[in-house]
Structure formats: structure tokens, C-alpha cells
Structure 1
Amino acid sequence: DTGSYSRRAGQSRRRSLTHQQDWYLLLCARRIRMSTATGVTKQSETDFMRWWDVIVPAFTNAQWVQNFRMSREVFHSLCNKLRPAMERRDTTSRECVPVRKRVAIALWKLATGSDCRSIGHLFGVSNTTVCRCVQVFCAAAETLLVPKQIRYPDEGRFREMADYTENRWGNRWGAIDGSHIPIIIYWVLRLSTLWKLATRGNLFPANVRSTSAMTAGYYILGDSAYPLQQWLLKPFQDTGHLTAEQHIFNQHVSCTRVVVENAFGRLRGRWCCLLKRNDCDIQLVKSMVATCALHNLCETYGETYETSWDVPIASALQPVVALAHGDGGGAEMYEKR
């Protein structure tokens, strides 16, 4: 029938496009191997640029999500949001890289963690251009995207979130977790803005809520690695002699924190650059904040998350480097939490 024929025709077109894309990627790889020490030729640069100009526009939505971690519509929306900070003018000596291509280069880098040389060959630009695109994109995201996607809740939002969990866990405002991202800098919870706000008493609204015969303020939940504070609760340490109530408390903490653990898993799955050590100067390491904003943007639009992106448990459970208290000088590599 007509419907069956249309489905077969669509499947045939998708297979043809996938086959064409695979061949083009093989061509890029072959060109890279054949390039001389002085760089690729003008003809090969033109061949590489055809991947972006010819192959990418024919992507299906599934292929777009697989390669850029978001649909074509959300990609265009993102380009429009960042255009004021990323758009450049042509000069008399050369044409600038269009905003859409600059955003695509940055997303490819964040999504795959590939080296700049490979990305440059794929998009037909230089290594320097790739680095600049990523830096400008992350700076633009920090300025234009982060304030809208990562916002500190006001008092009304605090109450709304606490009311939502009132029947299951009174006054619980949220949960905290961390992801170990190797960088060359000393950075721990005690140096974070969160810690400074909490110690000054500015993290939560001043009012308290009544719980049975007691009054208590808002708090967040952490795992056993976090320090116990008035505003930060953690599970009881399992010494083998916990009471039934303490076991129940630990189970509630574990169940409640599943959401934040899943969020970090999806963050690292979407943006594989977070799985590798970032050797940039700390002032340039804005990709971490940018990926968090992009993650929230994708979740807000209900973008597809492929289970194939999940980080294997062995890779996710990286060893934690013990950090000494103090201001920690030196240039050793530490895990950022």
C-alpha cells in the first residue's frame, strides 16, 4: 500500500544519507593521513567544507541529535540567543565563519571531546579557529545563556519546592552531588559560592517552618562525602550498628538523591568533554558552566537523550584525590567537585 511504500522509501533515503556520511568521514580521515607537515591543500580544504555545506543540511532529526546533542530547531534557537555575542563581520582579507558553523564547531567539541585538529579537518577550518570558536561560544553562553538556564531560586521558588516534597521529606529544598572533572587547579566545596552563602546564612530564606513540635529551616541533602552542616544533611555512616530508624533515614536520602545523580549522568553523557582532563588555564575553563547551561536547555525543550550516551560505571567512578585543607598552592592536578 501507499503507507508501506512511503516508509520503505524513507528508510532507503536514510540509509543512503548514512552511507554517504560514512564515506565522507572516511574521506576526511584519509585526507588527514595524507596531509603534509605544511598543512592540507586548498582543494582538500574545499572538500572538507562540503561536509558542513552538503552533508549536514541533509541530516535527519535523529542524526542531528546524535551529532550535536540537540534537534535542528533547538540548534537554531541557540544560535539566535548567542548571535549578539558571537557574530563577526567580514574583513577585506577574509570572510568570517558564520555563527551557525561556529556554534556547530563548539557543540561538536563539547559533545565529543575530540582534538581541535580533527575537528578543524572535519569542518574545513584551522586549529586556531576551532579553539577560538569554542572559547567565544563558552564566553557567550556564560553571558547570555547561563543567567537564564542556571538561576538561583527566589523565596517563592524555595517555598514551592519545599511544599512539593512536604509529604515525603519536610523542608527538604534540594539535593547536592558532584562530578569529578580533572583540571589543573585547587578547588573544593569550601571555596565555592554555595559554601560562602551557607556560612553567612544567605543560602536560604530567613524564615523557618514548623515540623511537628519543632521548627527547622531549609536544607539540602548530600552523600557521605559531604561535611555535615546545619543546612546540609548526609547519611549516617554505616558502622554495622545502625538502628532501624537510621537505616530508614539512609534509604530516604539515597532515594531522594537519585534525581541529582541521574542529572549528572545525563550531563556527562551528552557532553563527553567532561570525561577528559581540561588543561586550559582556569580563566578559560568555561566549558563546564556552558555544558551545564546547555544540559538545562536540552532538558527544558525535552530533547532526546540516547541511552547509548550513558557513561560506563567504570568510567564514572573515578578515584577521588584526597585534598588537604588550606589554600593549597602548587600545580598538582586535582579533581574538581
Structure 2
Amino acid sequence: MGEWNDDQWLWNFRMSWQTFIELCQWLTPVLRHHDTRMQCALTIEKRVAIAVWKLATPDSYRSVGQQFGVGKATVGAVLMEVVRALNALLLKRVVRVGDLDAAVEGFAAMGFPNCFGALDGIPLPIRAPDHSGGRYINRKGYHFVVLQSMVDSCGHFQDIYVGWPGSTHDACVFRNSGLCCRPQAETYIPQREIPLGDTTTVPLCLVGDAAYHLQPWLMRPYTGHFTDSQERYNARHNHAQQVVERAFERLLALPPGTPRPGPPKHPSGCGGLLHTPQPVGKQGGGLRAGLGTGGRNSLPPAIRRSELPAPPGQGLGPGGPKGVL
């Protein structure tokens, strides 16, 4: 079996060889299996590769099984095993606010101290579903799904949650999202409070519009008749809330202040967000230790060079790069 370079790893697995090996090392305590008298266990590298390939591509279970020389039932079992391991071991380690201090300082400069993010939701237009289409119609009469996002002070997306029907209230979407549970469990952000007076402390918080319910870590604007202090608070809150609105405008490629879009003019579905893992570092590599050159632990035995998708700017024909499968 030949070797892939980093470009080919990024093209097929959405990560470099070095990132893949580091991921395997993190998951080894959970994914290690022992051989039996009946058969050899799949190596950790192959288990992770099957799961990453399925998550990185739109291939079916049958197609992934043919690529790696296993049955489609094995693909499904391995995928769930790896995903559970990722959630158990790496969720708290990897999924968190990027630069918490910078986010807090950015919102403090806007006049809203001890805030680490702005929260809002927008409708994304979709084609009318074949079943239960009425649930996806919002107050404007179009078919939508709701995209909920949290951004930092620079407008960088830190958390997204999408898929609820357009008729669903923003507060309901938030209650069912992982973002609502993580601050409550104090796993998404570290515990940090600032003193307010002699006896009161204020925790880190999000800002959201009036659709959300007030929480110790979620601040919403005042409604109704305002006092002078409430009006000043709303002005600062609105300034901080505009960060997520401008982020949505950039996401939808709209000039600032443009009304949000109606139904799609072409039946091609709605916009989406794709996060592609970045490589840890530059290191050439290929399918090496634990992947074998054939048999149950080869990875993948059914791929031929002519069948591989070409990396950007490269061809895989007779004159293409050497060292591919």
C-alpha cells in the first residue's frame, strides 16, 4: 500500500496525517479491543478512519464498507463507537469558547462587561418538505429551518444549532440546544465572576434578544416602559447584540441593514455551515502503522488510484502524483 501526502489526507479525511494520529492517540483508552479466537479486532486507526471518512463524506454505509473491506453493519457500529468516544473524551477538551479573555474584553469595550458571547437565531429558507410541511412555515408564510448561533465580540461563530422547523419559537430552540445545557453545567466556560458592590458578584453571561428567557448567565433587554437606567442598559445591550446580527449579514453576504431573505428562488435547499478541522502541523505521511497492506485491517483495500477523488490542483491519472493507493 502506498502513502498519501497531506493534501490527499485533507481532501479525503478533512485532516492531516498528524492530526489523525493525534486523534487516534486520544481515543486509544476507549477504543482498544483485543483479538479473539474467531477473528482479529479492527485496529484503532482503522476504526477512527472509518468514522472520520463517514463523517467527512456523503458516502453511504455500504460504500464506506466497500472502501474499507468491512460490512455496512460494522461501519454503523464503529461510527457510533467513535462518536461516543469523541463526546466522552474530547467534547470538554475541544469544544469551548476560543479566546475567552479576548471576547470578554471586546464586549467590555462596547459597554457590556463580563459578557463572552451574543446569541440570536435566523430562519434559513428550504424547499417545502413532503411531510409535515406546515411546521416549517414561519409567520411570513415561507418554509424555513431555524439557525441559532453564538458569536464572540469579533463576530466569529462559536456555536451553531440548526434544524428546528421555522414555526418554532427561538426560546424553544434554545432550551433544546446544547448551548443551553453547557453553561448550566459549567462545562462550556470556566467559572468566573466579577464583584458588584460589597456582597454581589456577576457571572460570565451571554446577551440575547427579548425572545429568550432571563437566566443568571443570559441577559435580555428590558421591555415595556423604561426608566432612565433601563434605557441606558438597553442601549448597551443593543450595541452588544448587533455583533451577532452583523455576523448573520456576513454569513448571508448581505449589505448591513438589508432585510433577511425570503424563500429560495431556486429549489436547492438552504445555506449551511461547514466546519473543516484544520491540520495540526505540516508533516508528510500516509497510511502507515496499524493499517496494514491487506486483509481485515487494510485501509482501504477496495480503493484504486483511478477511483480516488483528486486533491485540489492535482490529477490522479497516469501522470498524477505517486504514492497513492
Could you state the TM-score of these two structures normalised by the residue count of structure 1?
0.47
**Which structure is higher in RCO with an 8 Å CA cutoff and minimum separation 6?**
2
- Structure having the higher strand fraction is 2
